[in-house]
């Protein structure tokens, strides 16, 4: 399962991109808004994706980890943040923000990763629209998504073998 917390759709789209890659690797995948998920029973692995706002991980992603903490402790979990409106996520591996690092420790995550973000030129909201004047764009990187999904598919295949 890929559970996401997204305010303006960029992280939802990233979750879809990852889901499509995992399906290409032969996995069955559900991509869902984290706030709407009632159970993780039956899933062999979970990816939690959350947008970053003011260095905070989207509330739905944080809540999801807290709600399913004990179930998540016993299956492979990856945490994802999205992300920087520049090339920094493509330059190397960015350290996770503290909320992601904390959540990763709580569930014993297999990995965490920061992907580039997306901000539309016509983004609504006082701060976001001002920000969009200079920083609008899409920094989600399909090659990075591909590599991440391949690594996840590999680890899941090993874990369920």
The reply on whether position 96 binds ligand FMN by CB under 6 A is: no
How far apart are alpha carbons 98 and 86 in whole angstroms? 20
Residues 104-123 that bind ligand FMN (CB under 6 A): 117-119
The first and second tokens of residue 56, run together, are 């905070």
Residue nearest to ligand FMN (CB): 117
When the beta carbons of 77 and 119 are compared against ligand FMN, the nearer one is 119
Residue 57 · residue 100 · CB < 8 Å: yes
The reply on whether position 83 binds ligand FMN by CB under 6 A is: yes
The reply on whether position 70 binds ligand FMN by CB under 6 A is: no
Using CA of residue 138, residue 143, residue 146, residue 149, what is the dihedral sign? negative
Residue 156 · residue 27 · CB < 8 Å: yes
Contact footprint for ligand FMN (CB under 6 A): 6-12, 51-55, 82-85, 117-119, 127-128, 131
């Amino acid at each position: 399962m890929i559970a996401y917390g997204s305010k303006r759709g960029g992280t939802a789209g990233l979750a879809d991109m990852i889901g499509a890659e995992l399906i290409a690797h032969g996995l069955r995948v559900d991509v869902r808004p984290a706030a709407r998920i009632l159970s993780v029973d039956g899933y062999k692995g979970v990816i939690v994706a959350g947008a970053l706002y003011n260095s905070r991980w989207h509330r739905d992603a944080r809540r999801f980890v807290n709600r399913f903490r004990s179930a998540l402790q016993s299956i492979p979990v990856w945490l994802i943040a999205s992300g920087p409106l520049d090339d920094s996520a493509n330059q190397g591996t960015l350290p996770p923000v503290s909320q992601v690092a904390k959540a990763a420790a709580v569930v014993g995550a297999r990995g965490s990763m920061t992907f580039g973000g997306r901000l539309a030129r016509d983004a609504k909201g006082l701060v976001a629209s001002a920000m969009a004047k200079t920083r609008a764009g899409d920094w989600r990187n399909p090659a990075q998504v591909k590599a991440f999904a391949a690594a996840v598919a590999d680890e899941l295949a090993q874990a369920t073998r």
